[in-house]
Amino acid sequence: MAAIWFNKSIKKEDINPFIPGTMSEQLGMEWQEIGDDFIKIKMPVDHRTKQAYGLLHGGASCTLAETVGSVASMLVVDPKRFSCVGLEINANHIRSARDGHVTGIAKPLHLGSSTHVWDVKIYDDLDRLICISRLTIAVLNKAF
């Protein structure tokens, strides 16, 4: 299978670190892997990402899903010509996580000229499915 990325030779190390002060940095997200048609990101389950019952906050799962899917879309398009922004997200929280890390894996369901749809599955450290999310991205022409 040919890589879906605009830069066919991209490696994990080529993905820009998060901009200081953004939510992704604040929540401790780290890039894990990039394959021909997927990208993985990891996030700790700690005081930054838990809700009052000590479980992973559903909003943190959605933040992880939107981050990995949005960046994946940015890697599919020519960044000089297009911007990618979230249009819609949904999430089904399958089970809880109390500690360790969760890993989000984004794979494309649709890569069109004006929208992308990503399937994002989030797993705990024991590879148990925590959350399933679908993210729709709007692909916008940059103003020149």
Amino acid present at 35: G
Catalytic annotation on 30? no
Phi, psi of 105 (to 5 degrees): -120, 120
The residues facing 117 across adjacent strands are: 110, 136
Under 8 Å between Cβ of 118 and 107 = yes
Catalytic residue among 30, 33, 66, 88: 66
Contact 17, 28 (CB under 8 A): no
How many Å apart are CA 20 and CA 61, to the nearest integer?
A: 20
Which pair of tokens denotes residue 30?
A: 């780290």
For residues 98 and 45, is the Cβ–Cβ distance under 8 A?
A: yes
DSSP annotation of 113 reads S
Catalytic residues: 66
